[in-house]
Amino acid sequence: MAPKSAGKENLMHEEDEVLQAVILADSFNKRFKPLTTHRPRCLLPICNAPMLDWTFESLALAGVQEIFVICRSHADLVKAAIKSSKWSKPNTGLKIVPIVTAKETFSPGDAMRDIYTHGIITSDFVLVTGDLVSNIRIDEVVRAHKERRKTNKDAIMTMVVKESGANHRTRSKGDSSIFVLDAETSECLHYEPVIGYPPKTHASIPREILEEHPEIEIRNDFIDCSIDICSVEVPSLFQDNFDYADIRRDFVHGVLTSDLLMKNIYCYIAKEGYAARVKDTKSYASVSKDILARWTFPLVPDDDHPAGHNYEHLRGNKYIARDNTVSLSRTCKIGNNVLIGSHSQIADNAQVLASVLGQRCKIGAGSVVRDSYLFDGVTIGPNCVIESSIVGAGVHIKEQSQVERGCLIGDGVVVGPRATLMPFERLSRKRSIESDEEDDEDGEDEDDEDEADDEGEEDDDDDDEDDVDSDLEEVEANQDPDSLEYLGKDNNAVIWPRVSLDEDEDVDELEGADNQRLMRIGDSASDLELSDLGSESSDSESDSESSSSDDDFGGSNPSSSVTSLPLSTPTNLVAQADTAAELEFISEVTQSLERAFAEGHSVDNAAVELKTLRMASNVPLRRVREAVVASIVERIKIEESGAPQRQEIGSVIDRWGGLIDKIGGVDAVETVEVLQAHCATSIRLPLFGQILAALYHHDIVEEDDIRKWHSSPSSQGEGIKSAATRENYLKCWTTGAHMIQQFDEQESDEESEGSSSKEGSEEEESEEDDEGDEEDDEDEGDESSES
């Protein structure tokens, strides 16, 4: 619309138009556990005011008039918080409407669909998350957006991004993105999410965008503020595409790559101002620091504190509550960048450095609190050290305790005296204590409340677990009593497992354990190889150029070692998770074969089923072979005497032996190894020779394979820990020796094996080690199912 001619009408129209905002007050993940077991993330305090209040403040600053808060977990708490917020008072010019969505809302996409069904959106609106701290003039962005809409109806969204450096602390390494923009118009042409670990190596930019846009910027230095100006169509697009979950990775990516939609998304590059999300504990720390460092001005503790507290700003960015209730000992030391809430007490010789203390915190004499965030009512005994941790409300840490970096301590936990928390420990209060005994301040009633909470809407921040309570119960059930000893005799804590093993296979990489480490407070993740700088070369080189050349110098290739770089703890856990997945796979294979045996499927059909299973769980071929061999062996009935036994073996192998080579790859040597490994731990050990012979007769295993196997060190049980198993290995090996002897007798040429067999054996050797134990489990499974 031309401003002049239609000006008046337009003006009137714009005046009428209320600027709406939608806050997604649920995080849809569980990075703050266990702090979020009893309240939603958006109500966690940051610099002593709930995050949601910071968000309201940011929106109010931008001239938003109507806010819808979409809440899911702890909806009652959120509602109550909204009611008590200063913005709910009359005359604030802000209307805040909480909307409780269904429990089945698992992603921002679901929430958007919910918004659509509610039909609350009438015009362009601002979409933010409930953990936003910003002083960006969003109204200007909205104006720019509307201006653009006048000429281009397809510009449905404007994302606000902030320039920073690639390594800015507020820019999450674990979850960042690359924006590809038109240099002139800032139209977003391509969006590429980036996760920190495993490090992404390539960004792929579609070349076709070059055709229409002569000059393009590839920006890897934006902080995604998660402030989106959306047009009315946006929720309906979510409705149409039911699989959109994440706003960036699904919606933006989907819209930009769609050939049908023909919609445009633009970026607004905020040159001034500050905006960041608290999306994980690491950004919790960095946003706190940014607030204390006054980046968010005017949203700073001493001026416009969202919770209405009053702080005095002292030199060095120290903020002390103004109401004279803070008692600081004469000998205590307050470092720079510290916020201390009212009624707090710091005793003699205590040090508080670069930390935030809530209200009514007590720091005992000689304690040190560094880079940590203490919620309200935390009591730290004398001579404690708290490093880079987040400590929930009402926590009591008794004297001489150590809290190492990265700990998250849930509300109401008591630890100590002389507790030692390992780095990245996560504690919450024991439920059994809560309900059985009456622990200090928590009466029955409160427990009930908690319980109600738990059962009700408590499922909170997690996608895949519905009930925190059961979650907690499970954690409690798996407690290791030894580790609790470190927490001091008075503790009431349960320790959360380091990495939840219940993570599904398909957990998305963003939430992967190693990647999450990049989002943890206090975790420098220095042991993770993040830069793809190191791991590059060979792979890329070989596909981009005819690699031959590159390998002709300097033999060793750093990348191979780097990519497989073992990472201390987390990978072990991942490995365990893998093992768990494999076990599950094996049991499924066993069942599938059982069915095949019982119902007399054809070998081909059974093979197809196996392949499908293998694809689904992505296990190595060897595992499949193990499972198949094991099943077949267990299928063989044990007969009293030799002849019927041989017959039985013959018939089983005749019927099913072919399956071994149809699982997707033929490797007869491995088959023998697997057979040996299985027999060595099975009651069918005596049958080994006969089975092998039967396999030989059915051409599943050739003579050379047997020789090859026989000459490999692993076939003699090398590297097997249990003595009994090793003995069994040896027995099998001896049986093999006999067979080879027979071969030799039959035909007298035998030299061939010498050298050629060596290489084969070396390859297999490494895998051999872990095989024994797995074999065991599998075996039990097989046997029980058979009996």
Partner 1 sequence: MNFNVTPVEAVTREFLAVVLAGFGNELLPLTSEHGEEPCPKALLPIFNKPMLDYPLSWLEQSGIKDVLLICPSSHRAAISHYIHSDSTTTSFASLRIDLQPFDESQDLSSGTCSLLKHFASRIQDDFVLLPCDFIPPPSLPLSKLLNKFRTESATDGAIATTCWFEAQRTGSSPDEWGASFPSPSIVWDEVTGTLLHVDVPDGTDHRGELELRMGLLTSYPRAKLSSKFHDSHVYVCKRAVLDVLLQKHHFDSLREDFFPWLCKIQYQNTKRIKYGHALGALADSISNSISMKHSTLHTNVYAKIKLTTLEPRTSESSPQQSRIGLSMPSSPAESDIDQSITSSLRIGVIIHRAENGFTLRANNLGSYLDVNRHFLTSTSYSLPSEPQKRALIDQKANISSDSAIGDFTRVEEKTSIKRSIVGSHCVIGKMVKIVGCVLLDHCVISDGAKLEGCILGKNTTVGVKAELIRCVTQAGYEVEENGSYRNEKLDVADWAAGPEDSSSDEDDDEDEEEDEEDEDEDESEESET
Residues 167-186 that bind partner 1 (CB under 8 A): 167-170, 178, 180, 183
Residue 533 CB, nearest approach to partner 1 (Å): 4
Segment interacting with partner 1, rule: CB under 8 A, options 34-42, 415-423, 473-481, 539-547: 539-547
> Which residues in the 261-320 window bind partner 1 by CB under 8 A?
286, 289-290, 292-295, 316-317
Residue 187 CB, nearest approach to partner 1 (Å): 14
Give yes or no for residue 558 binding partner 1 (CB under 8 A): yes
Strands 345-346 and 362-363, by their bridges, are parallel
Three-state SS string over 358-399 comes to CCCCEECCCCEEECCEECCCCEECCCCEEECCEECCCCEECC
Question: How far is the C-alpha of 72 from the C-alpha of 53, rounded, in Å?
Answer: 17
Segment interacting with partner 1, rule: CB under 8 A, options 7-15, 163-171, 395-403, 429-437: 163-171
Three-state SS string over 97-163 comes to EEEECCCCCCCHHHHHHHHHHHCCCCCCEEEEECCEEECCCHHHHHHHHHHHHHHCCCEEEEEEEEE
On the 0-12 / 13-18 / 19+ scale of CB atoms within 10 A, 13 is exposed
Residue 214 CB, nearest approach to partner 1 (Å): 5
Exactly one of 10, 88, 220, 722 binds partner 1 (CB under 8 A); which one?
A: 220
What is the four-CA torsion angle of 240, 245, 247, 251, rounded to 10 degrees?
-40
What count of Cα atoms within 13 Å lies in the side-chain half-sphere of residue 662?
A: 14
Question: How far is the C-alpha of 315 from the C-alpha of 337, rounded, in Å?
Answer: 9
**Tokens representing 461?**
């921040």
Q: Which is nearer to partner 1, 354 or 633 (CB)?
A: 354
Exactly one of 79, 249, 370, 662 binds partner 1 (CB under 8 A); which one?
A: 370
Segment interacting with partner 1, rule: CB under 8 A, options 193-201, 226-234, 498-506, 614-622: 193-201
Give yes or no for residue 770 binding partner 1 (CB under 8 A): no
Eight-state DSSP code of residue 258: -
Residue 531 CB, nearest approach to partner 1 (Å): 6
Distance (Å) of CA 238 to CA 195, 226, 254, 266: 24, 17, 10, 18
**Site map 48..77 versus partner 1, x via CB under 8 A:** ------------------------------
Segment interacting with partner 1, rule: CB under 8 A, options 394-402, 434-442, 538-546, 710-718: 538-546
Q: Which is nearer to partner 1, 497 or 534 (CB)?
A: 534
Residue 535 CB, nearest approach to partner 1 (Å): 8
Q: What angle do CA 748, 749, 755 make, to 5 degrees?
A: 145
Residue 154 CB, nearest approach to partner 1 (Å): 23
**Site map 228..267 versus partner 1, x via CB under 8 A:** ----------------------------------------
Segment interacting with partner 1, rule: CB under 8 A, options 29-37, 391-399, 557-565, 646-654: 557-565
Q: Which is nearer to partner 1, 90 or 555 (CB)?
A: 555
Q: What angle do CA 437, 442, 445 make, to 5 degrees?
A: 90
Question: How far is the C-alpha of 467 from the C-alpha of 458, rounded, in Å?
Answer: 7
What is the four-CA torsion angle of 653, 655, 657, 663, rounded to 10 degrees?
-160
Segment interacting with partner 1, rule: CB under 8 A, options 28-36, 526-534, 663-671, 673-681: 526-534
Instruction: Judge contact between 516 and 574, C-beta under 8 A.
Output: no
Question: How far is the C-alpha of 448 from the C-alpha of 439, rounded, in Å?
Answer: 14
List all residues 6 or more positions away from 6 whose beta carbon is below 8 Å from its beta carbon.
none
Q: Which is nearer to partner 1, 538 or 591 (CB)?
A: 538
Exactly one of 80, 166, 314, 683 binds partner 1 (CB under 8 A); which one?
A: 166
**Tokens representing 768?**
């051999």
- Taken in order 276, 277, 278, 282, the sign of the CA dihedral is negative
Q: Which is nearer to partner 1, 218 or 583 (CB)?
A: 218
What is the four-CA torsion angle of 370, 376, 379, 383, rounded to 10 degrees?
10
Eight-state DSSP code of residue 36: T
Residue 224 CB, nearest approach to partner 1 (Å): 13
Q: Which is nearer to partner 1, 367 or 711 (CB)?
A: 367
Give yes or no for residue 565 binding partner 1 (CB under 8 A): no
Q: Which is nearer to partner 1, 194 or 328 (CB)?
A: 194
> Which residues in the 105-144 window bind partner 1 by CB under 8 A?
none
List all residues 6 or more positions away from 403 whose beta carbon is below 8 Å from its beta carbon.
372, 384, 385, 386, 387, 389, 391, 397, 409, 419, 421
**Tokens representing 614?**
């293998």
On the 0-12 / 13-18 / 19+ scale of CB atoms within 10 A, 677 is buried
# residues near partner 1 by CB under 8 A? 71
Segment interacting with partner 1, rule: CB under 8 A, options 4-12, 374-382, 543-551, 740-748: 543-551
Residue 560 CB, nearest approach to partner 1 (Å): 10
Exactly one of 100, 120, 218, 567 binds partner 1 (CB under 8 A); which one?
A: 218
Segment interacting with partner 1, rule: CB under 8 A, options 92-100, 130-138, 541-549, 671-679: 541-549
Question: How far is the C-alpha of 20 from the C-alpha of 28, rounded, in Å?
Answer: 23
Residue 557 CB, nearest approach to partner 1 (Å): 7
Amino acid occupying residue 7 = G
Eight-state DSSP code of residue 248: I
Residue 221 CB, nearest approach to partner 1 (Å): 3
Q: Which is nearer to partner 1, 143 or 202 (CB)?
A: 202
> Which residues in the 85-104 window bind partner 1 by CB under 8 A?
none
Exactly one of 559, 579, 587, 722 binds partner 1 (CB under 8 A); which one?
A: 559
Residue 773, Cα to own-chain centre: how many angstroms? 29
Residue 336 CB, nearest approach to partner 1 (Å): 4
Segment interacting with partner 1, rule: CB under 8 A, options 392-400, 527-535, 593-601, 697-705: 527-535
Segment interacting with partner 1, rule: CB under 8 A, options 92-100, 159-167, 591-599, 616-624: 159-167
Question: How far is the C-alpha of 247 from the C-alpha of 257, rounded, in Å?
Answer: 14
Three-state SS string over 37-54 comes to CCCCHHHCEECCEEHHHH
Q: Which is nearer to partner 1, 355 or 592 (CB)?
A: 355
How is 306-345 classified by DSSP, letter by letter? TT---EEEETTTEEEETTS--EE-TT-EE-SSEEE-TT-E
Eight-state DSSP code of residue 551: G
Residue 527 CB, nearest approach to partner 1 (Å): 16
Exactly one of 152, 164, 325, 329 binds partner 1 (CB under 8 A); which one?
A: 164
Beta bridge partners of residue 346, listed in sequence order:
328, 363
> Which residues in the 198-217 window bind partner 1 by CB under 8 A?
199-208, 210, 214-217
Question: What is the SS3 assignment for 526?
Answer: coil
Q: Which is nearer to partner 1, 216 or 580 (CB)?
A: 216
Segment interacting with partner 1, rule: CB under 8 A, options 9-17, 425-433, 547-555, 736-744: 547-555
Exactly one of 91, 549, 746, 755 binds partner 1 (CB under 8 A); which one?
A: 549
**Site map 320..359 versus partner 1, x via CB under 8 A:** -------------x-xxx-------------x-xx-----
Q: Which is nearer to partner 1, 335 or 719 (CB)?
A: 335
